[in-house]
Amino acid sequence: MRTVFWEDNQLKMIDQRILPGRFEIVSFRDHKSVAQAIKDMVVRGAPAIGAAAAFGLALAGFESASSSTSDLLAHLQTASATLKSARPTAVNLAWAVDRVMGVAAGVGGERSAEEIRRLVLEEAQRIADEDVEINKRMAEHGAQLINDGDTVIHHCNTGALATVDWGTALGVIRMAHEQGKRVHVLVDETRPRLQGARLTAWELEQYGIPYEIITDNMAGYFLKAGKAQKCFVGSDRTAANGDVANKIGTYMLALAACDNGVPFYPVVPTSTIDLSLAHGDLIPIEERDPQEVLGLEFMGERVTPKNAKARNIAFDVTPARLVTAIVTENGVAYPPFETSLRKAVLGK
């Protein structure tokens, strides 16, 4: 089953807030509730939220009953802004919405409102289908970097759940496993929302890939002790120079990997590469509700004092100098990333 899919004129998504305890599908009929679901992380992971927003725009099309093309386009424009503002860091969100809007605006004057609604839905469906195909191509390229017997450290969740299906970094690990390589995964639990402990571990169980969960602050120990041969992570936005924004904690993992000579590989579809940003300091970084940090319980008790304050930075930027290579669907890009990423995205 896909993480995000269109069925019975509705957008349906796996509710990732309650996994692995419960597996539930939630349905959406309007774009505003899709934007809210992205904010609340019912759906999360850069490519998955891109596809969800694209389908959200299709829902916006059906919300407006108007037969006037200009009324419909105006409504889609407003819905685009709402969907794009749901989360700031993952560029796939704006990329997918802009791509769908481009189709609608491109044919605007020539087609009826009904035809535009259909074209918008078709483009959203194309984005979802392409995501799966792209992930499998990335996985083929990335699996070549994994040797039989490797132990790899993985951060956050980059699997089928973070995409429409198959996954990015976890997709690489899954492909290596399916090729018959023995691969063991050290799963960073990924504080504070525990995407590793909850979602990555759940996926690895289903693929039959051996893993152990570690707390985020254990990664340095395993790297220094020579007990991990590679690190694989995803990205929410990668700048033109190869600076990689990803889930908070990725930068510290990359520092420890570099200090110990362990290769560090982000797995990044070209839809996540933002060539308009020269470097990673320009990437907008999401800060979420401190309650996600403060709400933690230990032995059934709240951990923090009643009036404690907290910060909840959701992403960090790993500088390109700590990155060994970036896996894309168009091949593995090596430094200097200014040229190799441009070639991966534009073909020149």
Just list the catalytic residues: 236
Quick check: 236 binds ligand MRU (CB under 6 A)? yes
Quick check: 270 binds ligand MRU (CB under 6 A)? no
Quick check: 192 binds ligand MRU (CB under 6 A)? no
**Which residue stretch of 154-162, 224-232, 293-301, 318-326 sits at the interface with ligand MRU (rule: CB under 6 A)?**
154-162
Q: Do the Cβ atoms of 166 and 135 come closer than 8 Å?
A: yes
Q: Do the Cβ atoms of 223 and 262 come closer than 8 Å?
A: yes
β-strand pairing of 237-239 with 10-14: unpaired
- Look at residues 337, 104, 125, 127 and name the one whose alpha carbon lies nearest to residue 235: 337
Task: For residue 249, report the phi and psi dihedrals to the nearest 5 degrees.
Answer: 105, -15
What's the min distance (Å) between Cβ of 44 and ligand MRU? 3
192 vs 319 by CB, closer to ligand MRU = 192
Q: What is the phi-psi region of residue 8: left when phi exceeds 0, alpha when psi lies from -120 to 50, beta otherwise?
A: left
Find residue 27's DSSP bridge partners.
12
Crossing angle between the packed helical segments 69-84 and 46-63, to the nearest 10 degrees: 150
What's the min distance (Å) between Cβ of 297 and ligand MRU? 21
Q: Do the Cβ atoms of 329 and 342 come closer than 8 Å?
A: no
**Which residue stretch of 65-73, 178-186, 218-226, 228-236 sits at the interface with ligand MRU (rule: CB under 6 A)?**
228-236
Beta-carbon-side half-sphere exposure of residue 235 (alpha carbons within 13 Å)? 32
Helices and strands, counts by H and E, the chain = 12, 16
Number of chain positions touching ligand MRU (CB under 6 A):
17
Quick check: 254 binds ligand MRU (CB under 6 A)? no
Quick check: 152 binds ligand MRU (CB under 6 A)? no
- Would you call 291 helix, strand, or coil by DSSP? helix
Q: How does DSSP assign 306-330, residue by residue?
A: TT-----B-EEEE-GGG-S-EEETT
**Which residue stretch of 125-133, 156-164, 210-218, 323-331 sits at the interface with ligand MRU (rule: CB under 6 A)?**
156-164
Contacting ligand MRU within 64-93 (CB under 6 A): 90
> What span, in angstroms and rounded, lies between the C-alpha atoms of 189 and 299?
18
What's the min distance (Å) between Cβ of 223 and ligand MRU? 19
Quick check: 235 binds ligand MRU (CB under 6 A)? yes
76 vs 199 by CB, closer to ligand MRU = 199
61 vs 266 by CB, closer to ligand MRU = 266
Chain residue whose CB lies nearest ligand MRU: 234
Q: Residue from 80, 82, 151, 168 that binds ligand MRU (CB under 6 A)?
A: 168
Quick check: 174 binds ligand MRU (CB under 6 A)? no
Q: Residue from 14, 31, 45, 191 that binds ligand MRU (CB under 6 A)?
A: 45
Distances (CA, A) of 327 to 100, 164, 209, 344: 26, 18, 21, 10
What's the min distance (Å) between Cβ of 268 and ligand MRU? 8
- Look at residues 185, 189, 168, 191 and name the one whose alpha carbon lies nearest to residue 265: 168
Q: Residue from 14, 47, 52, 146 that binds ligand MRU (CB under 6 A)?
A: 47
Cα torsion 42, 195, 273, 47: sign: negative
Task: For residue 329, report the phi and psi dihedrals to the nearest 5 degrees.
Answer: -70, -15
88 vs 234 by CB, closer to ligand MRU = 234
104 vs 239 by CB, closer to ligand MRU = 239
Quick check: 200 binds ligand MRU (CB under 6 A)? no
The contact pattern for ligand MRU, residues 98-137, with x = CB under 6 A and - = no contact, is ----------------------------------------
**Which positions lie near ligand MRU, rule CB under 6 A?**
44-47, 90, 156, 158, 162-163, 168, 195, 234-236, 246-247, 314
